Structure 1
Amino acid sequence: MGNPIHSEIDFDADGRQVGYLRLPHSVHRSAYGWLPIPIGSVRNGAGPTVLLMAGNHGDEYEGQVLVSQLLREIEPQWVRGQLIFLPMANFPAAEAGLRVSPLDGGNLNRSFPGDPQGTPTAMIADYIEHTLLARAQYLVDLHSGGSSLLYHGANMLAIEPRDAEENARLRTLLAAFGLPRAFLHAPNPVHSATAARRQGALSIVTELGGGGVVQARLLREAREGLLHLLGAIGVLHGPLVPARPPGETHFYRVAGAPHYVYASERGVYEPLVELGEQVSAGQPAARIHFPDTPLKPPITVAFAAAGEVVCQRAMAAVQRGDCLFHLAQPDER
Structure 2
Amino acid sequence: MTGTLITTEVDFAAEGKQTGYLRVPHSVHRSAYGWIPVPVTVIRNGDGPTLVISAGVHGDEYEGQIAAATLARTLEAADLRGRLILLPMMNFPAAEAGTRVSPVDQGNLNRVFPGDPKGTPSEMMAHYHEEVILPLADYAVDLHSGGTSLIYPATVLRGPGHTPEEEAGLRLLTEAFDLPYGWQFTGGGGRGSTARTAMGAANRKGVINVMAELGGAGCVTPDILRRTERGLRRILSALKMLPGEALDPPQGTRMLTARGVVAAYHPGVFEPLANIGDDVTKGELIALIHHPETPGQAPDEVHASHDGMILALRAMAQVRRGDALFQIASDPV
TM-score, normalised to structure 2, is 0.94
Specify the code of the residue in structure 2 equivalent to 1:208.
L
One-letter identity of the residue aligned with 2:212:
T
**CA displacement, residues 27-72 of structure 1 (integer Å, 9 cap, x when unaligned):** 0001111111101100012211011111010000111111111011
> In the alignment, does 2:208 pair up with 1:205?
no
2-side partners of 1:156 and 1:125: how far apart? 22
Aligned position for 1:233: 239
- Given that 1:16 and 1:40 are in contact with CA atoms closer than 8 Å, whether structure 2 keeps it comes out as yes
CA displacement 1:101-156 (0-9 Å, x = unmatched): 0011111111111111111111110001111111101111111111111113x111
Q: Tell me the alpha carbon deviations over residues 56-90 of structure 1, each in whole angstroms, 9 at most, x when there is no partner.
A: 10000111111111011111112111000101000
* Selected match of 1:220 from 222, 226, 237: 226
* Pairing of 1:13-92 with structure 2 (within 5 A): 13-92=14-93
Say whether 1:249 aligns with 2:253: yes
CA contact (8 A) 1:54 1:67 kept: yes
Q: CA RMSD in A?
A: 1.4
The separation in 2 between residues aligned to 1:245 and 1:83, in whole angstroms, is 24
Find the counterpart in structure 2 of residue 175 from structure 1: 175
Which amino acid counterpart does residue 225 of structure 2 have in structure 1? L
Q: Which amino acid aligns with 2:256?
A: Y
In the TM superposition, what are the counterparts of 1:154-193 in structure 2 within 5 Å? Answer: 154-185=154-185, 186-187=187-188, 189-193=195-199
- How far residue 161 of structure 1 moved from its aligned partner, in angstroms, is 2.4
Question: Residue 30 of structure 1 aligns to which amino acid in structure 2?
Answer: S
Q: Secondary structure at the match of 2:124?
A: helix
Q: Distance in 2 between matches of 1:166 and 1:254?
A: 22
> Which residues of structure 1 form unaligned runs of 5+?
none
Secondary structure class of the residue paired with 2:116: coil
Give the distance between the partners of 1:146 and 1:13, measured in 2 at CA.
35
Q: Give aligned-pair identity as a percent.
A: 48
Note closer, same or farther for the CA distance 1:264–1:121 as it changes in structure 2 (3 Å cut): same
Instruction: Name the counterpart of 1:279.
Output: 280
How many angstroms apart in 2 are the aligned matches of 1:314 and 1:117?
Answer: 37
State yes or no: 1:100 paired with 2:104.
no
Normalising to structure 1: TM-score of the pair?
0.94
Q: Secondary structure at the match of 2:57?
A: coil
Q: Please name the residue that 1:194 is paired with.
A: 200
**SS, match of residue 106 in structure 1:** coil
Distance 1:206 1:125, change over 3 A: same
Q: Give me the whole-angstrom Cα distance separating, in 2, the residues matched to 1:222 and 1:246.
A: 14
Partner of 2:306: 305
| Matched pairs, number | 326
Are the counterparts in 1 of residues 151 and 314 from structure 2 also a CA contact under 8 Å?
yes
Aligned partners of 1:179 and 1:246 also within 8 Å: no
CA contact (8 A) 2:312 2:326 kept: yes
SS of the aligned residue for 1:60 comes to coil
- Separation (CA, whole Å) in 2 of partners of 1:39 and 1:245: 31
- In structure 1, the residue corresponding to 2:44 is in which secondary structure? strand
Contact 1:58 1:88 in 2 (8 A): yes
* Amino acid in structure 2 at the alignment position of 1:132: I
Aligned residue number for residue 323 of structure 2: 322
1:260-311 residue CA offsets vs partner (Å, 9 max, x unmatched): 1001011101111111000111111211111111222111121111111011
In structure 1, distance between residues paired with 2:83 and 2:169: 20
Answer yes or no: is the 8 Å Cα contact 1:224–1:245 preserved in 2: no
Measured after TM superposition, the shift of residue 23 of structure 1 is 0.6
* Structure 2 unmatched runs, 5+: 189-193
Residues 237 and 247, structure 2, Cα contact 8 Å, conserved in 1: no
Rounded Cα–Cα distance in structure 2 between residues aligned with 1:169 and 1:20: 30
User: How big is the shift at 1:94?
Assistant: 0.4
Q: Aligned partner of 1:199: which letter?
A: K
